[in-house]
Structure 1
Amino acid sequence: MSLFKANWGLKFFAWRYIPLIGFCSPKIVRMSNDTLEVTMPHTWRTKNHLGSVYFGALAIGADLAGAFLVFSKAKARGINANFAFKDVQGQFLKRPEAKVHFTSNDGAIIDQMLDESLSTGERINRTVTVVVTCPSLHGSEPMATFALTLSIKAKAKR
């Protein structure tokens, strides 16, 4: 899936189902079989009273980076995949005071989850990780890390 199509899919999904995602104006900037990178601007919509990105906006970005690959991989395979997060653990390391990047490199884990769910018919739970950086101010130094338990149940389309 091209970045253009992925971003249109994200905008449509946000508009149709979760407008709060659209309010934060995320953008997919890198997507491969294993990696998804989403950015979120540092604006009045995403900042807190201290001038850093609000933790709720950070959670939205982590959600997208951890789950959008499920959506795109299921679509590419022609399967239905219902997914949600069972829990989340966040570690806030530094105040992100500029545009933030959310990166997950867990595409292989998602592939395994989809395969296992298709073969067993069961819901599969695994942890995916998301690293938040603020490249314009701190390069690749993590601002926050998230560990999200992703829960997937997949079935073939009829």
Structure 2
Amino acid sequence: MQVTVKKMNTFLMFKLPSAFICGVKLKELDSQKAVVSVKHKWINQNPFNSMYFAVQSMAAELSTGAIVIKKIKESNKKISMLVTNHQGAFTKKAVGLIKFTCTDGFLIDEALKKTIETGEGQTIIMKSIGINEQGEQVSKYEFEWSVKLKSQ
């Protein structure tokens, strides 16, 4: 089964409804890069009239996780995935349309290869950068993903 932007957004609606309700949308996905957008609005704001950090976290996580899901599906193996740690840094007030981009798809290839060969879990750290409409960075995230071959 091929993982597409449309399928991922449908998945989002049913499996991550809070992200869907807040306006998180996958816009672009290939084997190396994912772009997720979310627009600041009433439903996802904080008391300071900017985007709540948890909404930014959901969008940033999806930009990394969508690539991991895509590559796991393409491997045709039963592999579990889990965020084991994350960090976020906020550099500017998030208002308007924010796009989170991850270009770390190459990192997952070796981890999947090793977990398939050895059966041992592997971890990788993938980055996502949030950019506003003016091209300014508003936040930066790092997500530690663990992947492991499921036992038969």
1:107 pairs, out of 105, 108, 128, with 105
2:108 is equivalent to residue 143 of structure 1: no
Structure 1: which 4+ aligned runs deviate by more than 3 Å? none
Measure the CA separation in 2 of the matches of 1:81 and 1:24.
29
Q: Is the 8 A contact 2:127 2:142 kept in 1?
A: yes
Which deviations, in whole Å up to 9, do the C-alpha atoms of 1:92-121 show, x marking residues without a partner?
Answer: 100111111111111000111111111110
- Are 2:67 and 1:69 aligned? yes
Percent identical across equivalent pairs? 23
Q: What secondary structure, in the 3-state scheme, does the structure 2 residue paired with 1:150 have? A: strand
CA RMSD of aligned residues (A): 1.9
Secondary structure of the 2:19 match is helix
Aligned amino acid, residue 82 of structure 1: S
Instruction: Could you tell me which runs of 5 or more consecutive residues in structure 2 were left unpaired when the two chains were aligned.
Output: none
1:65-96 CA distance string (max 9 Å, x none)? 11111111111222222111111111110011
Q: Match of 2:58?
A: 60
Say if 1:96 and 1:27 are closer, same or farther in 2 by CA, change over 3 A: same
Whether contact under 8 Å (1:40, 1:99) holds in the other structure is yes
Q: Does the aligned pair in 1 maintain the 2:35–2:102 contact within 8 Å?
A: yes
- Provide the rounded CA distance (Å) in 2 between the counterparts of 1:104 and 1:71: 14
1:32 partner letter? D
TM-score scaled by length of structure 1: 0.86
Secondary structure of 1:45's partner?
Answer: helix
Tell me, in whole angstroms, the C-alpha distance in 1 between the residues paired with 2:8 and 2:56: 21
Aligned position for 1:154 = 149
Helix, strand or coil at the partner of 2:92: coil
Unaligned regions of 5+ residues in structure 1, if any?
Answer: none
Residue 155 of structure 1 deviates from its aligned partner by: 5.2
Q: Which residue of 2 aligns with 1:9?
A: 8
